[in-house]
Amino acid sequence: MFRLVFASSMAASLVLGLTAIRRRDVPAHRAWMIRAYAIGLAAGTQVFTEGLGGAAFGTGELRGDLAKGAGWAINLAVAEWAIRSPWGRNRAGAPR
């Protein structure tokens, strides 16, 4: 179920990023592309969350799925932080 939700979210982020750049809205395009990249990059993070989750809570289908979801959640949290952080903004206050 997580894969279906996040695959759909990644596709939606890519489409929203494309429509934003066609409107010449570079800050919105940048934000949507960062979100899409974070979802795609989660496969690497899931190696750590599944390993740590397995060591801490044991193995099992539900535990593995929750560890995969944690990988996506961590990546999206970092992406949102990067989008909203002060160093990621230009002088006008808009995201770069």
Q: Is residue 62 part of a domain?
A: yes
Tell me how many domains the chain contains: 1
Q: Is residue 93 part of a domain?
A: no
- DSSP letter (8 states) at residue 86: G
Q: Is residue 28 part of a domain?
A: yes
Mean pLDDT, each 10-residue run in order, the chain (96 residues): 90 97 95 94 88 86 89 94 78 53
What was the pLDDT predicted at 26?
Answer: 93
Q: Is residue 88 part of a domain?
A: no
pTM confidence score: 0.78
CA distance 68 to 32: 22
Domain that includes residue 76, residue range: 2-83
Q: Is residue 10 part of a domain?
A: yes
Who's near 96: CB < 8 A, 6+ residues apart? 27, 30, 88, 89, 90
DSSP sequence for 52-93: HHHHHH---HHHHHHHHHHHHHHHHHHHHHHHHSGGGB-TTS
Q: What angle do CA 81, 36, 95 make, to 5 degrees?
A: 45
